[in-house]
Structure 1
């Protein structure tokens, strides 16, 4: 039963993780968002209280 011998499977596991760690992070870090959010002003908008007609 080959699954009881960890030697080849451990090498495959390590090699696959090395491939993932060398290929995927540059692709993920190069991702840019199509619409960058613009910074909002720090001023608070002026709010007025409502005059409710039924009071």
Structure 2
């Protein structure tokens, strides 16, 4: 059975993981996202209580 011979498949597996772990992550991390979250101000917004007419 030729599929039990690990010689070519092990090399392909190792090389593909080397590509995934060394080349691709820096390319993905180099992207800048246009909608970066902004920091909220430390001031709490002033809220006013509602004046409900209880009838």
TM range (shorter): 0.7 to 0.9
The TM-score, its normalising length taken from structure 1, stands at 0.77
- The answer for unaligned runs of 5 or more in structure 1 is none
Structure 1 moving runs of 4+ over 3 Å: 35-38
Highest RCO, 1 vs 2 (Cα 8 Å, sep ≥ 6): 1
- The answer for unaligned runs of 5 or more in structure 2 is none
The TM-score, its normalising length taken from structure 2, stands at 0.77
What is the number of equivalent residue pairs in this alignment?
54
Tell me how large the CA RMSD over aligned residues is: 1.4
